[in-house]
Amino acid sequence: MKILSQNTAFGGMQGVFSHESDATKCEMTFAVFVPPQAIAERRPVLWYLSGLTCTHANVMEKGEYRRMAAELGLIIVCPDTSPRGNEVPDELTNWKMGKGAGMYLDTTEKPWSDNYRMYSYVTEELPALVAEHFRVDMDRQGIFGHSMGGHGAMTIALKNPDRFKSCSAFAPIVNPMTADWTQDAFEKYLGAERPKWREYDACALVEDGARFPEFLIDQGKADSFLETGLKPWLFEEAIKGTDIGLTLRMHERYDHSYYFISTFMDDHLKWHAERLG
């Protein structure tokens, strides 16, 4: 693991690191905020998954999480959103595919399948690396994210309810099988057989029996992607008749940007802290 940068913030450490990934067959970069409490003891860890076109840096620079994370004693890990490098397949004119658009799934179709294994990277390889190098309590893990990352967080939580104790999302893509900005990527990554897509769709996972105790979702009503890509009411409908709890908060005037995310970041960190102990 290479140290790219380390800076003191709110008594803790904000670092950026890189390593050679077996899952994605390229060098991957990720950010970690370590609160001051971790000097003396293992602390809960929160995984933040970013959205389309983002890297690890977007939330690190604009998410405004460090003050509250330091107060609550939370370690925050921010992976990249896709493989990177000159040899990694991409669609240069399509921001919904390729680099910056890994969708947090393990692809099965060529040419993507050699590198685009973000589900394995986020759930297996990166946690093992973080556990080795940082003072994290792996028995207290939460996961959250934005947009494509909200989709990733919710599907990963639903598929790993024994690992994660909390999950929340900002403007998540809850039903990528029907969202206009993910169907093309799903077909190219996973093939034309739509039943395969259900493994990476929060609504479909619930319909197929997956369960998680509860979710917090914040969504801006002025989000230009709300009606065609996000549609949180579909998840609300999917969980009817289950024991899954949902706090869905719709906010007037807020859009899809990090101005929205940073406004409600403290609420999400407190939500996770209450559940992680």
Structure tokens at 70: 């330091």
Structure tokens at 172: 């998540």
Give the per-residue SS3 of the chain. Answer: CEEEEEEEECCEEEEEEEEEECCCCEEEEEEEEECHHHHCCCEEEEEEECCCCCCCHHHHHHCCCHHHHHHHCCEEEEECCCCCCCCCCCCCCCCCCCCCCCCCCECCCCCHHHCCEHHHHHHHHHHHHHHHHCCEEEEEEEEEEECHHHHHHHHHHHHCCCCEEEEEEECCCCCCCCCCCCHHHHHHHHCCCHHHHHHHCHHHHHHCCCCCCEEEEEEECCCCCHHHHHCHHHHHHHCCCCCCEEEEEEECCCCCCHHHHHHHHHHHHHHHHHHHC
Structure tokens at 79: 């992976």
Dist. CA 145–CA 117, nearest whole Å:
18
Cite the active site residues.
147, 223, 256
